[in-house]
Amino acid sequence: MTTPAFVADPTVEVDRASKWFGQKVAVSAVSCNFGQGITGLLGPNGAGKTTLLRLICGLASPSEGTVTVLGENLRRNPDAYRQLSLVPEEDAVYPQMTARQYIEYGARLSGLTNVADRAADALRVVDLSGSADRTLGGFSKGMRQRAKVAAALVTDPQILILDEPLNGTDPVQRAHLIEVFRRLAADGKTVIVSSHVLAEVERMADRVLAMVDGKLAAAGDVVSIRAAMSDIPFRVRIEGDHLRKLASELVARSDVAAVEVGKDAIHIEAEDLSALGRDIAVIARDLDMRLTAFQPEDESLESVFRYLVRR
Amino acid sequence: MRAALAIATVSYRQLLLAKRSYLLGGLSLLPAVIMYVGSSKMTDSRAFEFLHEGPSGVLIIAVAPIVALVLATSALGEERRQGTMSFLTIRPIPRWAIIAAKGLATWAAVFTLVGTGGLAVSAALGLRTGNWETVTPMLVMLGINTLIYVALFVPLGFLFKRAMLFGLGYVFIWDSGIANVPGLSPLSIYRIGLSAYIGILPESARFLEEPLGNVTPGAGGALAKSIVMAAIGLLAMTTFLKRRDLV
């Protein structure tokens, strides 16, 4: 299948996977797959990204549907973990260990030999060699993130799962990590990166899957996701006097989709926010009214994603 | 095998190097201090009785379960709380090997502290009276008891946030209280270890049998029970880890 949610030669396959915890549905009938290169899993907090990643990693089992990694169910065949590494969102480090001990421990857990050299290489890749013998408890959030990435890379996995890997990193570290991920993708690895920040995903992902409320909302390359977002009607709150006159003026405009008159304000849905912003002062002057507020109400990424789901 | 060894080594070190372990180590040595100081003016036979009336009783009824409870509930519980459980489970290691390695390391850490206490309390008797025959039975008893405690408390620590409270309830309400009812004594952990202790000591020490209730003295039976308990604990935790989500 080669719809935007699917690629040829997948390494990770999700087939109508659902996951619910009691009454709460975290992932709802998601079907997609992942192959070589970087796939960004985009969505607001609580969209189900982490749960989907946990399903892929075998940390949770789907309530319905299936998830396979290189054709294997990880929960039944732990040997397949040789090909997969996870950088979890939470601070999953041992605070009393040094970065070197932590990464060497990860290598030993994967049954590797020559762990000292491998750990040194991984530390070099994430630019932590200089702090290798400091304990993780004394690291900044960004340094801990890099230590987690090094611990994931030390096993040289075919599939790398990164849950919000850039959280807490400064711009320099961020650029460096993005470069590392891009290099891995260029080497033919499958890299799945979750984030709630579109700009972050834009910088590294070749393909984007957008999730909202546990569902797959959109899929495709970054350009097409951007295009899908560009025609979202924006909701604006306007305050001032003579609001009814303003409402009747605005309702006649072709770029205004809806007008709702409230007690103290009017709420409008406009397709071109910047054009309306330019015109509203002129309209107010013509109507001899005083504007006290012109405020976009839902510019949040969450509302953008919700719009994508409704489409 | 290499991975399981890594888990066991790291866990053992983590458990013993934590600050609380110094406190627990001191607690484990307390009965030996009581024994050495308290028996200074006693005859040999009175010192032997004193060991069993006081110091060794404190060690097996209070110190051993408390040390086991603190370390065992943190063994997997802390991994879960600090989010490092996935660091262990996303590996090419069967779940039973993770649990076995964790359990073994925990038992070794508990036995290092409690066994040292046991060795010290027996040595205190030996130094006072020249009687060293309690050393081996003491270590066997503590080895058996701590194995069962670990088998019980490691899953407890993983499953419940208030594991310490439940564990203390078990130790002080059940083991030291309700299990005094003769029919229930075989379900008392400290009595299982005590049966091994009495089974190894010479016939002259059989006066210690009274607290055993229905439990028959003998090291073989006690060892078998502890191994069965450890196997049940391992099986239960493995099944849980395989079936339940790690969230």
Specify the range with the lowest mean pLDDT, choosing from A290-299, B25-34, B99-108, B117-126.
A290-299
Are A170 and A66 in contact by the 8 Å Cβ rule? The answer is no
- Read off the amino acid at residue B39: S
Confidence of residue B242 (pLDDT cuts 50, 70, 90): confident
- Whether the CB of A116 is below 8 Å from some CB of chain B: the reply is no
What is the per-residue pLDDT for A212?
87
Question: Region A53-61: what's the mean pLDDT?
Answer: 94
A96–B14 CB contact, under 8 Å: yes
CB contact under 8 A, B2 and A93: no
Nearest Cβ partner for A81 among B10, B14, B92: B92
ipTM of the complex: 0.84
Q: Flag whether residue B84 sits within 8 Å of chain A, measured between CB atoms.
A: yes
Q: In chain A, which residues have their Cβ closer than 8 Å to the Cβ of B89?
A: 58-59
Q: What pLDDT, on a 0 to 100 scale, did the predictor assign at position A200? A: 80
| Contact between residue A55 and residue A29 where contact means Cβ atoms under 8 Å apart | no
Q: How far is A226 from chain B (nearest CA, A)?
A: 33
Contact B93 A57 (CB under 8 A): no
| Collapsed DSSP state (helix, strand, coil) of residue B19 | helix
Which is more confidently placed, B175 or A258? Answer: A258
Rounded distance between C-alpha atoms, residue A125 and residue A187, angstroms: 14
Class of residue B19 by CB neighbours under 10 A (exposed 0-12, middle 13-18, buried 19+): exposed
Closest CA to B175 of B163, B165, B186: B186
Q: B86 — contact with chain A (CB < 8 Å)?
A: yes
User: Could you tell me how far CA A205 lies from the centroid of its own chain?
Assistant: 10
**Closest partner CB to B245 (pick from A59, A88, A92):** A59
Mean pLDDT throughout B115-131?
A: 95
A94–B contact, CB cutoff 8 A: yes
Residue B221: half-sphere exposure toward Cβ, Cα within 13 Å = 15
Among residues A208, A305, A194, A217, the alpha carbon closest in space to that of A30 is found at A217
Spatial separation of the C-alpha atoms in residues A45 and A67, rounded to whole Å: 22
B130 interfaces chain A, CB cutoff of 8 Å: no
Q: What is the pLDDT of residue A1?
A: 44
Lowest mean pLDDT among A24-33, A284-293, B96-105, B203-212: B203-212
Is A32's pLDDT higher than 90?
yes
Between B247 and A15, where is the model more confident? A15
Locate A247 and state its tokens. Answer: 């409402």
* Strand (E) or helix (H) holding A250: helix A243-251
Which of B3, B14, B89 lies at the smallest CB-CB distance from A108?
B3
Partner B contacted by A70 (CB < 8 A): no
Name the residue among A75, A94, A110 with its Cβ closest to that of B91: A110
What confidence category does residue A285 fall into, taking pLDDT thresholds of 50, 70 and 90? confident
- Considering only CB atoms, which chain B residues are within 8 Å of A162? none
- The pLDDT score that the predictor gives to residue B170 is 83
Answer yes or no: do A109 and B3 touch at CB < 8 A.
yes
Structure-block tokens of residue A279: 């015109």
Task: Measure CA A300 to chain center.
Answer: 14
Amino acid at A35: G
CA distance B80 to chain A (A): 10
The per-residue pLDDT of chain B, averaged, comes to 89
| A266 contacts A235 by C-beta, under 8 angstroms | no
Instruction: Compare all CA atoms of chain B with the CA of A109 and give the residue at the minimum distance.
Output: B3
Give the closest-approach CA distance of B28 to chain A in angstroms. 25
**Residue B105 forms contact with A (CB below 8 Å):** no
pLDDT greater at residue A103 or residue A76: A103
The alpha carbon of residue B229 and the mean position of all alpha carbons in its chain are separated, in whole angstroms, by 13
Interface residue B95 vs chain A (CB under 8 A):
yes
- State the pLDDT at residue B43: 92
Interface of B with A in 140-179 (CB under 8 A): none
Find the mean pLDDT for residues B231-237. 91
